[in-house]
Every structure is written in structure tokens, then in C-alpha cells.
Amino acid sequence: MKATIVTIGDEILIGQIVDTNSAFISKSLDRIGVETHEMLSISDDKQHILDTFIKLQNKVDLVIITGGLGPTKDDVTKKTFCDYFEDELVVDAAVLAHVTEMIEGFYKRPITQINKDQALVPSRCTVLHNQVGTAPGMWIKKEDTVFISLPGVPYEMRYLVENEIIPKVVKEYERPYILHKTILTYGQGESMVAERIETWEDALPEFVKLAYLPSPGRVRLRLTARGVNKGILESEIEKQVSSLTDIISDIIVGYDEDETIEVVVGNLLKNKKVTISTAESCTGGSVASLLTSVAGASAYFKGSVVSYAAQAKIDVLSIPSALIEEFSVVSTEVALAMALSVKKLMKTDYAIAITGNAGPTKEDGKAEIGSVFIALATPTGVLVEEFNFGQPREKVIDRAVYKSLEILQKEIIKFV
């Protein structure tokens, strides 16, 4: 099965809001074996919507539309549905009762005609009940394509996808299996990883595909298997992951999307009952933010000092001004001193310190743009590594953050 996802709204086209709905819908469809063929964003224009429907008719099995179902005049999706399907709007009694209950019972205000108009739906559509909002979803089939219209409000869209669309598709359609496995690697770039696994990749069976998903400091390798026999797919994916692990085990930190490096490091810290703190300069607290994005991080993360200015390093971390004057703020010596100081200050087992020049200018006249020093204080000592992550500024910061956690992970594993 193939689907096209269409988002309707000028606010998306001008960049006023970011389309997160399409990503959620495509992931939900993928889990049940429906392939997203394409994603489109179009304007709140009746003719544009009609032209899009005509183009997609009989080209895909499902067309899922979000947006344009509000009560205001600029929301034209329902009326356009009627034009395309040669239908008319009628009041759905169940929707009207639900809207009335929400407006008068929950919001405690009189219902208006605009609110009542939310209950208008094409007469030949299957209404998808929206328990968490006032705009119902609509399901209507023409020839070989089902058109599904959903509200653009993310939590309403998610409710309808999970509780109405996915169960209905599963019940009414036979679908192939699509299985994914993601291998998370850190520390080597895409080209280097590709070179290391080239022979393995060339030997993959035809029904298994590999995709490289690179970002600063890390590369995700996604294996996708498609077919009608789930057992065969699972067995082959397991076999290929095992072979791949034998080749690049030194850079693999986890498997699947949930096993990010911050999760892996957090689990290591928690299992070994040790704690971590950070002292950050050029990364501005990004390491601390990433560590604390994991639920339960309070079990191992104790705190951070964002000593962005040199004076903060002196006043808060007690770095000697003479040390800074002699070696500059971006140096091995200052990074080492920051790590030891925050470790003592926060009373932790480990401490990460980062100081560098992320750019865009060479401010202190000594450190090259892109230069970063990462120090790690451990229960038995301290180590410092120097890097140059190049440019632009965002790349330097991202790579420094992930490299620091990569170093931490490798050091924790050394201790029983």
C-alpha cells in the first residue's frame, strides 16, 4: 500500500509553523506496512486542493489530508471535499452533540452557529469521531483511492490517527510487512563508515535496504526489510545486524531510535550507580540539556556550570586568572581545570568540561575557529582531547556535545 500525506495551510508554506503532522502520520503508517509515497504542502486554495486531489486519484491507496477543518472562512477543506465528490454538507447528529457538550459543558459558554457548523460533513463520508476536539475526521473513497481529512491541530490529528485511522486500515486492508532496525554510531563520519562496511553492504539481500542518516558527530544506519513473511524478515534483519556489529562494534552505541547516546550513557551511569556533572563554555549548556532530556536523569546528573565568559570561569569555577592569561581560555590546561573544579563543586564521580571557539570570529587571537578542548574527570584521573570541528558554528557545538558523551561512554565502560 502507498499513501500520500497532504498538509493544507499557508502558515506552513511561509514557515510560520513547522509541519510535524506529516512525520507522525508517516511513522504510524510505516508501523502497519503502509509506505508513504510522498508528502505535499499546499495552500488554503480551493482550486489548488482540487488539482492535488485529481493528481493523486488512483495513484496511491490513501491520501491523508491535515488542516483546513476549522470553523473560520479561510478553512475550505470540507466544501472542497463536497465539490470533488459531488456531495453536499449535512449535519451529523453525533458530532453536533459532541461539539455542544464540549462548548457548553467543558468551556462553559453558549454554543454559536460557527461552532455548530463543525458538525457539517459530506453526506457520503464516514465520520471519524474526534473525542479531543470539535472538528471530525472524514473518510471517503473514490474509485481506488481513499481520501482522509484530519484537523491540523497536532493532538487532535494524533488522536484520530491512533484511534480511528490505523485500526480501520488494519481491518480493511491486507498489507506487507515493513521492518526497520536502526544502528547508532558515533565518532566517525559517513564516508568512513561507508568504507568500513562496503563489502557487507554489497552483500545485502535484495529485500533489505540500507540508508545512511548522518548528522554532526554521529551516523545512523537504518536497515529496512519489506516482504510478506514477517518471520523471514525478522531473521534476516537480526542476521545482518549481528554481522554489522562484528565489523564496527567500536563505534556502535545503541540500536533503534530510542537508544540515543544520551539514553545509553544515562543507563550506564544509573546501572553503575555513578554521577556526572558538566562545565560548559562554547556549548552553552547543551550537554547538560541533552543529559537531562532523559526521564530519570536526576538519578545520575547533579548539575552544570555554564561558564561562558572567562570571568565566570574565575569566579564560579575558581580557575586561576594566571592560568587563563598564560594558556588562554581555549586550552588543555583550562579544560582540565574546569573538569576537576566542577567535579569537586558538584561532588560527582565524573565531570565533563568543554571550552572552545565555535566561531564565527577568532576572538582571543589564539585558538583557531572550530578548536574545542574536551576534558573528562573520572574517579581515577582526568583526560583531555583537542579537536577542530571546522565550521559553521552550529556544527562545532553539535559535534562537541556528542563527542563529549562518546568519550564519557567509553570511559564508563572501562570501570566495572
Q: What is the pLDDT of residues 308-346, one digit of tens each?
A: 999 999 999 999 999 999 999 999 999 999 999 999 999
Helices (H), 131-189: 154-160, 166-172
Distance between CA atoms of residues 74 and 11, nearest Å: 12
**Mean pLDDT, residues 261-268 taken together:** 92
Judgement on whether residues 251 and 343 belong to the same structural domain of the protein: no
Q: According to the model, what pLDDT value does residue 269 have?
A: 96
Judgement on whether residues 284 and 166 belong to the same structural domain of the protein: no
Judgement on whether residues 18 and 124 belong to the same structural domain of the protein: yes
Q: How many domains does the chain have?
A: 3
Categorize the per-residue pLDDT at 72 as very low, low, confident or very high, splitting at 50, 70 and 90: low
Cα atoms in the Cβ-side hemisphere of radius 13 Å centred on 305? 26
Judgement on whether residues 6 and 130 belong to the same structural domain of the protein: yes
Judgement on whether residues 300 and 396 belong to the same structural domain of the protein: yes
Domain range for 316 is 261-414
* CATH number of the domain residue 13 falls in: 3.40.980.10
* CATH number of the domain residue 230 falls in: 3.30.70.2860
- Grid coordinates belonging to 329: 581560555
Judgement on whether residues 84 and 228 belong to the same structural domain of the protein: no
pTM over 0.85: no
Judgement on whether residues 41 and 133 belong to the same structural domain of the protein: yes
Instruction: Tell which of 130, 149, 172 closes a domain.
Output: 172
Q: According to the model, what pLDDT value does residue 73 have?
A: 64
Q: Are 296 and 371 in contact (CB under 8 A)?
A: no
Range list of β-strands (E), 123-231: 126-128, 137-142, 145-150, 177-186, 208-215, 218-227
Instruction: Tell which of 210, 240, 255 closes a domain.
Output: 255
Q: From 176, 289, 172, 186, select the one nearest 229 (Cα to Cα).
A: 176
Judgement on whether residues 228 and 285 belong to the same structural domain of the protein: no
pLDDT tens digit string along 16-66? 888 999 999 999 999 899 999 999 999 988 999 999 999 999 999 999 999
Q: Are 98 and 156 in contact (CB under 8 A)?
A: no
Judgement on whether residues 136 and 161 belong to the same structural domain of the protein: yes
Instruction: Tell which of 255, 288, 312 closes a domain.
Output: 255
Judgement on whether residues 148 and 115 belong to the same structural domain of the protein: yes
What mean pLDDT value characterizes the chain?
Answer: 92
Instruction: Name the least confident of 157-161, 225-229, 364-368, 391-395.
Output: 364-368
Judgement on whether residues 163 and 23 belong to the same structural domain of the protein: yes
| Helix, strand counts (H, E) of the chain | 17, 17
